[in-house]
Amino acid sequence: MIVLRNVSKVFDPHITALDDVTLSIPQGDFIFLVGHNGAGKTTLLSLLVRADQATSGVVLIGGQDLALLKGSEIPLLRRRFGIVFQDLKLFPSKTVAENVELAMQVQGCTGKRARSRAAEALALVGLEHRATFLPGNISGGERRKAAIARAIVHQPEIFIADEPTASLSPEVSWEITSLLMQINQLGITTIVSTHDRDVVDGFSRRVVALDGGRIVRDVQVGKFQENFSNATA
Amino acid sequence: MAALSYTATLFTSAVVNAWRHRTMSVITVLIVSLMMTTLGMFLVIENELSLMVASVGKRVNLIIYLEDDAPPTDVLALREELLADSRVNTVEYITKEEALERLRTYLEDDPDLLQPLLDNPLQASLEVRSDDPDYLLTQVDYLAAKRIVEDVDLPQDLVENLLQVIQIVRFLGFALGGGLGLVALFVIGSAIRLTVYARRGEIEVLRLMGASDHFIRLPFLLEGIFFGLVGALVSFVLVGASYIWVHELLQQTLSFFPVSLDATYILRLFLTLTLFGIAIGSLGSYLSVRRFLTI
């Protein structure tokens, strides 16, 4: 369970990225996080992985207050997450398989076991035929899949994807989002930050809309659709 | 087994990373090799000089001239006292007659020079041999103060000059070693800093993936050790070849010094350079990573 209680984040000089945000995400839930650029989506995600700290309020992951974590506990928290970054951040000099294996090595798992788990993750996203390719030598959609495989290889509790369908064709966007649904069905809490209205409309899931650092909508997609245009216009 | 696999993974990662930034790696290894070769050359020269100095030192005798009326028991006691010190190799008693005989042998081409002598004017003496010229130097005043001793002779200038040469050589060794060590530290540290800077994006990703401090830092440390190790091996090849060459040159030009080629010294040289390379590499990268990699 992820809980944000009256969370605010203010950057100097007086830029309010999040303003009194209260949000609960039960284990295994799937949410779309939508909003304009600068609405606070990325800040919210960075608070969850303790890349940043809230100015006020409480962030709880599984009942653990992130503000009370010691420095040495932060890596352990982050290992509970799988993250797909907006710019993917794949290591260009490592092959697709090596990129995925790296996530296992970070967890302390090396050798055959890491290779085997990486192969399984690549098979899950349908990318086993690109295992030996460098990220620069595969398509944009395949790079997304590689990043997803890297994020799920260690079977995280929480999966975060920041704009996973940006700059992709509708067909590939649909394929990627379907993959995210599939990951969620494994019991992994899934948070997807997106601008893509078609994706949000196409999947009947919970949608949390941010605007000016505040939550302006928190509804199931059916109820959300009618207001989505206004929220992202 | 898991720890071994983990270490192997990290070391492989360090070597692969050094290969991927090979221009920088080659420059670093070349500079480290240059530093360590200079240091190694100095070690070789210092060793050869020390052997030569020791060789000269062995030929310096301390001669204790005894009073004519010195009781034999006292002379014997003094000889025993000198021999009790482990730094003394031999103490030879030369009688007045033996001293005159030596003089005759020395002057055999001019026997007339000894004709005017009515009596044997020479004194009995004790000749003390030691490999430690410093020890002999410290004994001069002590022995001269003894009742049965008339005079003590030691070519002090020569001994003092030799000791001075050894001290200068050692001082230069420490100074040069320390200075070059600092330069090597700086070079390796700079290379690692550049690597850290070039990989800051990757480091950020690793942090967000939950990598521990060790996981992020260790490849950089291993990379530094790798640079130091390769630099040491390159320098050993150069210095080892030079050692043999210098040695042969000394044998030809200064053949009166019995300095033989020492295989154990080559092994010690290898170990010294290797350990020095590893130490410099690990310390250089540790300092650099600690300062520039805030996790």
Q: Nearest by CB to B205, which of A79, A89, A107?
A: A89
Across the interface, whether the CB atoms of A81 and B210 are under 8 A apart is answered yes
DSSP states along A190-227:
EEEEE--HHHHHHS--EEEEEETTEEEEEEEHHHHHHH
Of B147, B78, B206, which Cα lies nearest the Cα of A49?
A: B206
- Residue A55, pLDDT score: 92
- What's the confidence (pLDDT) of residue A233? 47
Residues of chain A positioned with their CB less than 8 A from the CB of B211: 75, 106
Cα first-last separation, chain B: 28
Residue-wise pLDDT for B88-144, tens only, equals 888 999 988 888 888 888 877 777 776 666 677 888 899 998 877 778 888 888 888
For residue B88, which of B26, B31, B133 has the smallest C-alpha distance? B133
Calculate the average pLDDT of chain B. Answer: 81
- Please list the ranges in chain A whose pLDDT falls under 70: 221-233
Nearest to A49 among B6, B9, B208 (CB): B208
**Which range scores top for mean pLDDT: B14-28, B92-106, B189-203?**
B92-106
Residues in A 92-121 with any Cβ partner in B closer than 8 A: 93, 102-103, 105-108, 110-111
Most confident stretch, A146-160, B215-229, B275-289: A146-160
Q: Which residue among A75, A93, A111 places its CB closest to the CB of B211?
A: A75
* pLDDT at res. A77: 93
Task: Say what the pLDDT of residue A93 is.
Answer: 82
Band of the pLDDT at B185, cuts 50, 70, 90? confident
Of residues B22 and B156, the one with the higher pLDDT is B22
Least confident of A162-166, A173-177, B65-69, B197-201: B197-201
* Residue B147: pLDDT over 80: yes
| Nearest Cα residue in chain B from A113 | B2
What are the chain B neighbours of A51 within 8 Å (beta carbons)?
Answer: 208
Asked if B294 is an interface residue toward chain A (Cβ–Cβ < 8 A), one would say no
User: In this predicted structure, what is the pLDDT of residue A208?
Assistant: 93
pLDDT for B292 equals: 59
Across residues B238-255, what is the average pLDDT? 79
- B202 to chain A: nearest residue by CA? A91
A106: which chain B residues are within 8 Å (Cβ-Cβ)?
206, 209-211, 215
For chain B, which residues make up each domain, given as ranges?
A: 2-56+161-292, 61-154
> Mind telling me how many Å the CA of B277 is from chain A's nearest CA?
28
| Partner-chain contact A78 B205, CB within 8 Å | no
pTM of the predicted model, to two decimals? Answer: 0.66
Asked casually if ipTM beats, i.e. exceeds, 0.95, the reply is no
The two tokens of residue A77 are: 């928290």
The predicted pLDDT at position B250 comes to 72
Q: Is the pLDDT of residue B45 over 80?
A: no
Strand residue runs (E) in chain A:
2-11, 15-25, 30-35, 56-61, 64-65, 81-84, 158-162, 189-194, 206-211, 214-220
Residue B12 pLDDT more than 80? Answer: no
Alpha-carbon torsion B80, B84, B87, B89, what sign?
A: positive
pLDDT at B295: 46
**A162 close to A196: Cβ distance less than 8 angstroms:** no
Fold exhibited by the domain B61-154: Alpha-Beta Plaits (3.30.70)
* B179 or B110, higher pLDDT: B179
Give the model's pLDDT for residue B109: 76
- Residues of chain A neighbouring B9 (CB-CB closer than 8 A): 105, 110-111
Full DSSP string of chain B: -HHHHHHHHHHHHHHHHHHHTHHHHHHHHHHHHHHHHHHHHHHHHHHHHHHHHHHHHHT-EEEEEEPTT--HHHHHHHHHHHHTSTTEEEEEEE-HHHHHHHHHHHTTT-GGGGTT-SS-----EEEEEES-HHHHHHHHHHHHTSTTEEEEE--HHHHHHHHHHHHHHHHHHHHHHHHHHHHHHHHHHHHHHHHHHHTHHHHHHHHHHT--HHHHHHHHHHHHHHHHHHHHHHHHHHHHHHHHHHHHHHHHH-TTS-----HHHHHHHHHHHHHHHHHHHHHHHHHHHHHH---
Q: What is the pLDDT of residue A57?
A: 94
Q: B208 and A107 in contact by Cβ < 8 A? A: no
Domains and CATH numbers, chain A: 2-80+156-232 (3.40.50.300), 90-155 (no CATH)
